[in-house]
Amino acid sequence: MQVVDTNVPQAMIAIGNISWDISKSEVIEFLNPVCRVQDAWIHIPIDRNSGKTIERIYVEIPTIYDAYNCTLLLNKKIMKGRLVTLSISSHDDALQTIVGNELLRLSSVEIDKIINICLYPKFNFSKKCPNRPIEYAESLVRLLPWYKLDHETGWALRKLKIFLRTYVAPAY
C-alpha cells in the first residue's frame, strides 16, 4: 500500500464562475465537506494591470481521488450566491491563467506592477479585496517552476519574494 502525504497536494481543480470578491476562507468552507485544503493551495488569479479578479480560480487538492470527489459532489453547486463549475485541472493550466501567455517570462517591470498593486490596492479593482494582489503574488512564488526560469525572470521573482518577506510576512 502506497502512503500519500496529504500535506503535499497531488492534484489541481479549477472552479469557474466565481464571485469577484471570493475569499480563500469561503473556498475552504465550500470544499471542506469533501476534502481538506490549505490556504496556500488556493490560487485566485488577477489581471496584473488592474488588480481585477479573473473569473476562474485554482485549488491544489491532496489526492487525485479527492479532486474527482470534489468535481463529482460540488460541481454546479452554489458558492457565495453563484452557480460554480468544478473541473479537474493541471498545474500547467493554473500557470497559464495566472501568468498568461508570457509563461515563465515575467520582467522586472511586470513584477513592479504586481508590487504596486500590492502596495496601493485602493487605486485598483482590488480595493474591496485588499489582500487579493498579495495572494496573487504568493501564488506566483509558489507555482512558478523556478528551475525553468530564464535569468531575468528568476531575478524578478526573487525581487517579488523579497518584497513578500519584507512587507507582508516573514515566513517567506
Give the whole-angstrom CA distance, residue 6 versus residue 4: 6
**Under a CB-based contact definition with an 8 Å cutoff, are residues 8 and 85 in contact?**
no
Hey, how many other C-beta atoms are within 10 angstroms of the C-beta on 71? 19
> What are the tens digits of pLDDT across the range 3-39?
545 556 789 999 999 998 899 999 999 999 999 999 9
**Shared domain check, 43 and 19:** yes
Q: What is the pLDDT of residue 121?
A: 65
Classify residue 3: in a domain, yes or no: no
Residue pair 10/62 in contact (Cβ under 8 Å)? The answer is yes
Average pLDDT over residues 98-117: 75
pLDDT of residue 33: 93
* Contact yes or no for 86/74 (Cβ under 8 A): yes
Supply the range of the domain harboring residue 24: 11-94
Select from 30, 65, 94 the last residue of a domain.
94
Residues 141, 162 share a domain: yes
In whole angstroms, give the CA distance from residue 31 to residue 28.
5
Question: Tell me: the pLDDT tens digits for 31-84?
Answer: 999 999 999 899 998 877 666 788 899 999 999 999 999 999 999 999 999 999
Query: pTM value?
Result: 0.83
